[in-house]
Amino acid sequence: MAGCVAGFAQSDGSTPDQPLQVNSRLVVVDVVVLDRNGNFVSNLDRSKFHVVEDKVPQAIRNFDPATAHEMPAGSEGKMLVNSSADLPKIGNAPVNVLVIDELNTPFVQIAYAQQMMTKYLKSLPEILPVPTLFIAAGSSRIQVLHDFTQSRADLLASVKTHVTDADFTAMMISLNGGRHGNPNGMVQTLGALEQVASSLRGFPGRKNVIWVGTGYKRAQDLNTMSVLDEDKAKATLAIVTNRMLASHITLYTIDPEGPRAPTQAGETAPSGSSMDGGDDNSDVATSVSMDFEAIARSTGGHSTFGRNDIGVQVAKMAQEGREYYTLAYVPNSGGNTPREYRRIKVTVDDPSLQVIARDGYFGTKEAVVAVAPNTAKQQPKQLKFDLLNAARTTMVYTGLHTNAARAKNGYSLLVTAKDLQWETQGDGSRQAEVTVVAVCYDTKGKELAQHAAELKEVIEATDRIEGGAKVGFAFPMMAPMKTARIRFVVRDADTGTMGSVDAAP
């Protein structure tokens, strides 16, 4: 994982990455507005909001009031969501993603975080008002403790059965009194955030990712990287930040260490702080801090540390994630350098109100890495990271809504046509191209085999792709004996958007 996501290691002489530029300039911003007592202000209209990007006023193109993000009428107390497949039932309503950070967090604090998470879940009604995904970012992989659900009992049961996937080296360092954490903690944390963002891209609602753990602030690779490595880390940070923007993610972080004095640059007060884009009189920024808390600020979230009431803090963040406005604009502030960090400031007419919104984004969208030709010795690292890590988790990737059906020589992968990028051909027909990786597992989760292919499908100019129309990609393969599950990951070659599906052999 360390070599794939950030490329900190020296060049291995493989074929250079071939970027395909994705240009989408609509910037979507969620805005929370609070009064002096910390209560959400819900009666503002579009005319009360103002957006400035790099000191240049922006015209608001789209605006959703707070009521546009509510669960469907009459759904209170009803179980609508039992898995990711049910998310279309809730439309534009938000979801919560609870993450226990086992990458960098000392073992004792992981146990405490689990206890507080259990306490928080017990405080909720039997049927959760917000569908919730529960995952653990472990040292070897992201583990889904429970897929999206509204069942409190199911989430509580998943905590009891989970076995912590802590890094042994980091654990021994912390037990011996050391302050440094995981040797590759920063790289792996960014990789985990990248995976979460990529998996949640396929449905419209806001995703409130509540990350309970220390993050990479004490990771060894953060403190020992060279100037070249730092440059590569910042490039990776831009990818992660932009993927979270594309997936409509707001990140909140909670450090479970307990009361302490602030020692890290960028840490907030114990109760968190508003994300108002900073001082509007400051110089226009060209980069973003590499602090873990800075990632939260860039998404409109915030960080909390020095508290013993983790359960209370999780509840506050979850509530903030339900009450917000959404506005969108097309930037007219100029500038398009790859690592330019563009500052956003959102205000309202009433200066007594507190405004919380994302503080910026990277000006250039991610360059999608193309598949290397068959003559190349290796595929690009970013491509391998995206596909193989998606294949080695049970998280559902929703960017391409995908199903698998048995076929004569293998499977037909059915992808919702409107999710794909279609290129018009000379004769008027349209073509889509995907990369597919299939990994076969036995009953114990052991990997038995891998299959990969580049697939293309062509449709006529008159074919309609609206609604739920699907296109089938023929994927011939033979599963080895003892295969109990096949994990398919499909990636659009043009946009990099991914979908996943698990199938029986």
Residue 318's CATH number = 3.40.50.410
Distance CA 361, CA 329 (A): 13
Element (H, E) at 223: helix 220-224
Q: Which pLDDT score is estimated for 323?
A: 92
Distance CA 370, CA 454 (A): 11
Which residues have C-beta within 8 Å of that of residue 231, sequence separation ≥ 6? none
- pLDDT, tens only, 129-142: 999 999 999 878 89
In a domain, 423, yes or no: yes
| Side chain identity, residue 486 | I
Distance CA 105, CA 258 (A): 12
Q: Which of 292, 322, 352 is the last residue of a domain?
A: 322
Together in a domain, 396 and 308: no
For residue 132, give the nearest of 145, 119, 143, 123 by alpha carbon.
145
Which residues have C-beta within 8 Å of that of residue 207, sequence separation ≥ 6? 94, 95, 96, 97, 200, 247, 248, 249, 250
Distance CA 146, CA 404 (A): 22
Q: Which pLDDT score is estimated for 57?
A: 94
Q: Which pLDDT score is estimated for 184?
A: 79
Which residues have C-beta within 8 Å of that of residue 171, sequence separation ≥ 6? 106, 107
Instruction: Classify the phi-psi angles of 479: left when phi > 0, otherwise alpha if psi is within -120 to 50, otherwise beta.
Output: beta
Together in a domain, 427 and 318: no
For residue 320, give the nearest of 454, 206, 405, 417 by alpha carbon.
206
Contact 181, 168 (CB under 8 A): no
Give the torsion through C-alpha atoms of 206, 211, 212, 216, to 10 deg: -170
Q: How far is CA 423 from CA 30, 398, 400, 430, in A?
A: 32, 22, 17, 5
Q: Which of 290, 322, 354 is the last residue of a domain?
A: 322
**Span between the terminal Cα atoms of the chain, in Å:** 28
For residue 192, give the nearest of 170, 168, 209 by alpha carbon.
209
Full-model pTM: 0.85
In a domain, 274, yes or no: yes
* pLDDT-flagged residues of the chain (< 70): 1-25, 166-181, 227-228, 259-289, 333-339, 374-376
Q: Which pLDDT score is estimated for 305?
A: 83
Q: Which pLDDT score is estimated for 80?
A: 96
Together in a domain, 98 and 181: yes
In a domain, 338, yes or no: no
In a domain, 317, yes or no: yes
- pLDDT, tens only, 443-466: 999 999 999 999 999 999 999 898
Alpha-helical regions (H) of 149-213 = 152-161, 168-175, 185-199
Cβ-based neighbour number of residue 413 at 10 Å: 27
Distance CA 221, CA 7 (A): 12
Cβ-based neighbour number of residue 275 at 10 Å: 26
Distance CA 399, CA 367 (A): 17
Together in a domain, 97 and 230: yes
Q: Which of 282, 307, 322 is the last residue of a domain?
A: 322
Length of the chain: 505
For residue 389, give the nearest of 227, 198, 240 by alpha carbon.
198
Together in a domain, 167 and 315: yes
Domain that holds residue 185: 74-322
In a domain, 1, yes or no: no
In a domain, 402, yes or no: yes
SS3 276: coil
In a domain, 406, yes or no: yes
Together in a domain, 120 and 224: yes
Q: Which pLDDT score is estimated for 231?
A: 81
Together in a domain, 298 and 415: no
Two structure tokens written together for 332: 């007219």
Q: Which pLDDT score is estimated for 178?
A: 58
In a domain, 212, yes or no: yes
Element (H, E) at 297: helix 292-299
For residue 399, give the nearest of 144, 251, 198 by alpha carbon.
198
DSSP codes of every residue in 400-439: S-EEEEEETTEEEEEEEGGGS--EEPTTS-EEEEEEEEEE
- pLDDT, tens only, 6-42: 333 333 444 444 444 444 468 999 999 999 998 999 9
Together in a domain, 376 and 316: no
DSSP class of 70: S
What domain count does the chain have? 2
Together in a domain, 299 and 377: no
Together in a domain, 274 and 379: no
Together in a domain, 396 and 259: no
Residue 383's CATH number: 2.60.40
DSSP bridge partners of 407: 410
Contact 213, 188 (CB under 8 A): no
Together in a domain, 316 and 382: no
Q: Which pLDDT score is estimated for 20?
A: 42
Two structure tokens written together for 205: 């609602």
Distance CA 133, CA 395 (A): 9
Distance CA 346, CA 276 (A): 7
